[in-house]
Every structure is written in structure tokens, then in C-alpha cells.
Amino acid sequence: MSTQPISVPHDDALLRDFRATRELTLALAAPLSDADATVQSMEDASPSKWHMAHTSWFFETFVLRDFVDGYEPFDEQFAFLFNSYYEAEGERHERCHRGMITRPSLDQVRDYRAHVDSAIGEHFDALPDDALTLVELGIHHEQQHQELFQTDILHLFSRNPTAPALWPAPRRLHEAPAPELRWIEGRSGVVDLGHDGESFGYDCEGPRHQALLTPHALASRCVTNGEWKAFIADGGYSDPMLWLSDGWAWVQAEGIAAPLYWRQDDEERWHQFGLDGLQPVDDAAPVCHISLYEADAYASWAGARLPTEAEWESAAQQLDASGGNQLDEAGGIRPAPAKGGDGPSQMFGDVWEWTGSAFRPYPGFKPAEGAVGEYNGKFMSGQFVLKGGSCASPRGHVRACYRNFFYPHQRWQFTGLRLAKDL
């Protein structure tokens, strides 16, 4: 999870971004009780309290400890409790047992965050460029965790039989139908892809490289809930011919019959659980919380396929990555219906879009030196790339070359799909 080396100026913009990011995390946590913030609902998810402390540990360790003379850690035990993957930083608490960290309390974690924030603000003007680069990395790292924060608490609340809403006011659902799906021809031939090194980017987004695209087209919008209902009604979850071998084994073993968080009432009407509670499924909105296995099966059923990472990125390069339905403030979030238009819609925001591309390094990739270079260089195995961000992604966080990655069975994130086809 390192960044491309860039020169970060000593200006107020970076400090403002730091403070705004830290404040948003606190706002996301505002409705939580200590119990809400402590429980771990599955190994893939982390407690809210852990996210809040881990992102603070990042700034404390890689900025304050390494660049501020005489800095003393807030608590010597926190490095063990709140390190995530960094072998170079020593032993760490097991991921599967993060929900056992009943202490420190949520209030103590808030105190920890306040301590770190104060120290960063106090020493900011004296930090060298290398430290400021890490501050910028830490901001983007915390934005990643803000999305995980929301998806993890959503999964936790979904396991509560009372289906509680984190945010009390139900979100008004759209009733207009989705615009007609159109096919938009993509670029063919050799294209330039990857991070250009001109601004912030994670190491896995580069280096800039060329890829060959064959004639193809992408769907104008994401697949909708209404279209997914047709897939279910047509026996999509019971036809082994539609599924990858591993996917069919997963469906059978887990009893998968609908997207995660979909529930049927006594009259067989579909509802979907969200941070605003249990709501009727909006047929016009993008389907979400589906695995790569489900996305691939649907594409086969529809007579299409998943786009490659290169096809998707090529189509998105000229679009506004800060547009669309993305996170601006704490509150209830759901994917929203496409608005139509001549070009592709929903490329950024709403749902992370599965691609058929494995998360592997680009030609010429070299992991960054030091502890911050461990993350992407170690986990490029068995995972697939998703593109575009979601309604839970902080606005300004994603870009066309941004590479999210998950295992093919995982679906607790806001994951959906856009169809592609060969021409």
C-alpha cells in the first residue's frame, strides 16, 4: 500500500485533507455504542473500533515515530493490537480475534485518535517531504478503511435478527425505471494504462504500460436489481452450466440463492438490508453485494462476459472520477439508478464493478522498500480486480487506474457488475 514517490509541498491543503478525513471517520462512528464498535462478525470484517485505532496507528508509527524526535507512543501495547499486515513492524494480534479486544474502550480509542491528530498538527510544519508523502498515503489509507468501516458494520448489523438501522431515516428510493441498456464500443488496439506518476497513486497502479485491446463493447450501465430478479426467476442459481467450477461448488456448499442481504417476506417480495435498515429492493438500482462467481454466472446467462480490467480502465480514462454516487458525509447509503445519457454511466460510484482480470503486478512492478511496501506485493494471488468505487467510497478517493481486489467468493463489499461482449 505504498505510493508513487512525489514531492508533497508544505501547504495547508494536505493538513486540511488530513483533518477532514479524520473527522469523517468520527462522524461514521458517531451512532455506535461500545458494543457495536467491538464485535467482529466474521474474519473478513474488522470491528469499527479496530479500524479507528489502526488508521491512527499508521500515522503514529510511520510519521510521528519515524520523523518526530522524542515522540512517545500513546500506548506501547497499541502497536501489537492495531498493526494489520506489516511483518516488518513486529508481532501483531491475530486478525480472526480482533473482536476480542474489548479494551481499550471506544472512548479510549477516540482519545488515541485525538492524541495522534494533535501531534500531527503540532509538528506538521516541521515534517520533511518524505513524512508528508506518508501523511498523504495515510489519508488515502484511512479512506479505504472508511469504506471497510461501513461494509463491516453493515455485515455486523445484518446478523442481528432485529435488522437494526444504523441511520434512522430511511433513504427515499427511486421509482423511475432504469434506462435501457445500450452497448458502447470501446477502443481497440494498443492503449496506455496505469498510473502516470503525476499525482497520488498506490504502487500497484503502476508502472504505466501498454495493453492490446481487441474489438469489444461495454454496457452503458450496471446490471440492475430488476434484471437480477429475472436471473433468479429463470433458475440462474440452480443451473450448473452457467457457473465456473469453483463457483458452482461454492453455491452448493453455501446454499447461495440471492445476493447478500436480500430477504423475502411471506409474500415472496424481496427486501434488501442496508445501513438504513430493511428496504424494498429498488429494481432500477444496481445489484450489489454479489461475488465474482455470481457476476460471471449472470454474464453467461445474459450471453455476455465480464470486462477485462484494461477494457474498463480504457473506457473510464476520460470520465470524471469524482462524479457519481460516492460518499460525501456520514449517513445511509445505497446504490442509485443510472441517469442515462449518451456515454457510459455509473463508471464511478454506486458499486465496485467486477472484472475478469486477476490482481497481478503490471510489467516492471517492484514493491516499495520498507514496511509500507509489504501490502500489495504480498497479496497478489487468487484475487480479482474491481474498478470504479462505490456509494461507500469517499469522494475523490478513486481514479480510473485504481485497483481494488477481493477473492472471488467475497461479497460483503458494495460489489456489482457491468457486462461486456466481443465484437
Cβ atoms < 10 Å from Cβ of 350: 30
Are 13 and 82 contacting, i.e. CB atoms less than 8 angstroms apart?
A: no
Contact 348, 326 (CB under 8 A): yes
SS3 155: helix
Question: How far apart are alpha carbons 79 and 61 in whole angstroms?
Answer: 8
Lowest mean pLDDT among 173-187, 206-220, 338-352, 365-379: 365-379
> Average pLDDT in the 393-398 region?
97
Q: Is 119 helix (H, G, I), strand (E, B) or coil?
A: helix
- Contact indicator for 218, 306 with CB cutoff of 8 Å: no
User: Amino acid letter at 159?
Assistant: R
* Average pLDDT estimate for 6-13: 60
Q: Are 380 and 357 in contact (CB under 8 A)?
A: no
pLDDT of residue 107: 98
260/360 Cα distance (integer angstroms)? 27
Q: Which grid coordinates are listed for 111?
A: 482519545
The residues, any chain, with a CB within 8 Å of residue 249's CB and separated by 6 or more, are: none
368, 204 contact by CB (below 8 A): no
Q: For the residues 54-63, what does the mean pLDDT come to?
A: 97
C-alpha cell at 387: 474498478
pLDDT at 9 over 60: no
C-alpha cell at 186: 470501446
Answer whether residue 88 shows pLDDT above 80: no
Examine the pLDDT at 6 and tell me if it is beyond 50. Answer: no
The CA-atom distances, in angstroms, between 25 and each of 34, 68, 331 are 15, 25, 12
User: What domains appear along the chain, each with residue ranges and CATH number?
Assistant: 12-158 (1.20.120), 183-422 (3.90.1580.10)
- pLDDT for position 5: 39
Q: Is the pLDDT of residue 377 over 70?
A: no
Q: Please check whether residue 195 is in contact with residue 208, taking contact to mean a CB–CB distance below 8 angstroms.
A: yes
With a cut of 80, say whether residue 167 has pLDDT above it.
Answer: yes
Strand arrangement of the beta sheet that strand 270-274 belongs to: 262-264, 270-274, 277-280
Mean pLDDT of 59-78: 96
Label residue 173 by pLDDT band (50, 70, 90). Answer: low
Report percent pLDDT > 90 for the chain.
85
Asked if pLDDT for residue 362 goes beyond 80, the answer is yes
